[in-house]
Amino acid sequence: QFVSLRQRILSAVQKNATRGDPRSVIRAIDQFCSQKEWAMNVGNEKGCILDSVVSEVNPATVLELGTYCGYSTVRIASLLPPYAKFITLEFNPDFAAVARQVIAWAGLEDKVQLVEGASSDWIPKIKEQFGIKTFDLVFLDHWKEHYLSDTKLMEECGLLRKGSVLLADNVICPGAPDYVEYVRSSPRYKSHYFRSHLEYTKAEENLWYLGIIE
Ligand X SMILES: Oc1cc(-c2ccc(F)cc2)cc2cncnc12
Q: Cite the active site residues.
A: 141, 144, 169-170, 199
Contact set for ligand X, span 60-89 (CB under 6 A): 66
Q: Smaller CB distance to Mg ion: residue 40 or 79?
A: 40
Scanning 84-92, 151-159, 168-176, 187-195 for contacts with ligand X by CB under 6 A, the matching segment is 168-176
In 3D space, the residue among 58, 63, 210 whose CA is nearest the CA of residue 125 turns out to be 63
Contact set for Mg ion, span 28-57 (CB under 5 A): none
Residue 171 interacting partner from Mg ion, ligand X, none (CB closer than 5 to 8 Å by kind): none
Among 169, 171, 176, 189, binds ligand X (CB under 6 A): 169
For residue 146, what is the DSSP state? G
State the nearest-atom distance from the C-beta of 27 to ligand X, in Å: 19
Residue 174 interacting partner from ligand X, Mg ion, none (CB closer than 5 to 8 Å by kind): ligand X
User: Which residues sit opposite 167 in a β-bridge?
Assistant: 139, 209
Residue 97 interacting partner from ligand X, Mg ion, none (CB closer than 5 to 8 Å by kind): none
Contact set for ligand X, span 90-149 (CB under 6 A): 141-142
Scanning 15-23, 98-106, 117-125, 169-177 for contacts with ligand X by CB under 6 A, the matching segment is 169-177
Contact status: 40 vs ligand X (CB under 6 A): yes
User: Which residues sit opposite 191 in a β-bridge?
Assistant: 210
3-state secondary structure of 67: coil
Laid out side by side, the sheet with 165-168 consists of 113-116, 85-90, 61-65, 137-140, 165-168, 204-212, 189-197
Scanning 81-89, 98-106, 124-132, 167-175 for contacts with Mg ion by CB under 5 A, the matching segment is 167-175
How far apart are the C-alpha atoms of 111 and 81, rounded to whole Å? Answer: 9
The continuous run of DSSP H or E covering 14 comes out as: helix 5-16
Contact status: 150 vs Mg ion (CB under 5 A): no
Among 45, 64, 90, 169, binds Mg ion (CB under 5 A): 169
Contact set for ligand X, span 179-208 (CB under 6 A): 198-199
Where are the strands (E) in the chain, listed by range? 61-65, 85-90, 113-116, 137-140, 165-168, 189-197, 204-212
Structural Rg of the chain based on CA atoms:
16
Quickly list H helices, 36-169: 43-57, 71-77, 93-105, 119-122, 126-130, 147-156
- Give the interface with ligand X as residue ranges (CB under 6 A): 40, 66, 141-142, 169-170, 173-174, 198-199
